Amino acid sequence: MPHVSKHQLTPHQLDELDRYLYTLLRDTGSRTRLNVMRELLTDTEKIMIAKRIGVLYLLSRNCSLYEVSELLNVSASTVKRIRCARDAGAFRHAAAWAHAQTPEGKLEESLKKLIRLVMTGHTRSLAKIIDEM
């Protein structure tokens, strides 16, 4: 369990730190971002984030609470809490990203691209468009 300081920050300080973090995530290249995250996150924090993403991914594959719990070695109550939060609209972007990593999500995205092609009447060759997918 990571240590959280008992010293509270002001709302202004929290806003500034959030803005700074989002600037790092948004305005840096992927290599720099990856290196900074490797330096800053502890092994425990990496595992915590990876497990949350894993829960969302497995839920998007319609795995049961029990299956997710067993596969990721997390409690069923943790899986249930994440599932309920996701169903209530939390983790919207993370859940969409996790779904996009599934075979179903990849197929869905390919089909959307093909439908857009048909509907927009692009003149590019089908072979070139498929290569871009």
What Rg, from alpha-carbon coordinates, does the chain have?
A: 20
Contacts of 63 (CB under 8 A, 6+ apart): 71
CA neighbor of 78 nearest in space, from 94, 61, 59, 95: 59
Whether 126 shows a pLDDT value over 60: the answer reads: no
**pLDDT digit string, tens, across residues 4-48:** 788 899 999 999 999 999 998 888 888 998 899 899 999 889 999
pLDDT in tens, 54-93: 999 899 888 999 999 999 999 999 999 999 999 999 999 9
What pLDDT shows up at residue 109? 76
pLDDT of residue 127: 60
- Of 112 and 23, the one with more pLDDT: 23
List CB contacts of 83: < 8 A, sequence separation 6 or more. Answer: 55, 59, 65
The secondary element (H helix, E strand) that includes residue 112 is helix 103-120
pLDDT of res. 74: 94
The pLDDT of residue 104 is: 82
**Sign of the C-alpha dihedral, residues 118, 123, 127, 129?**
negative
Query: Is 0.75 topped by the overall pTM?
Result: no
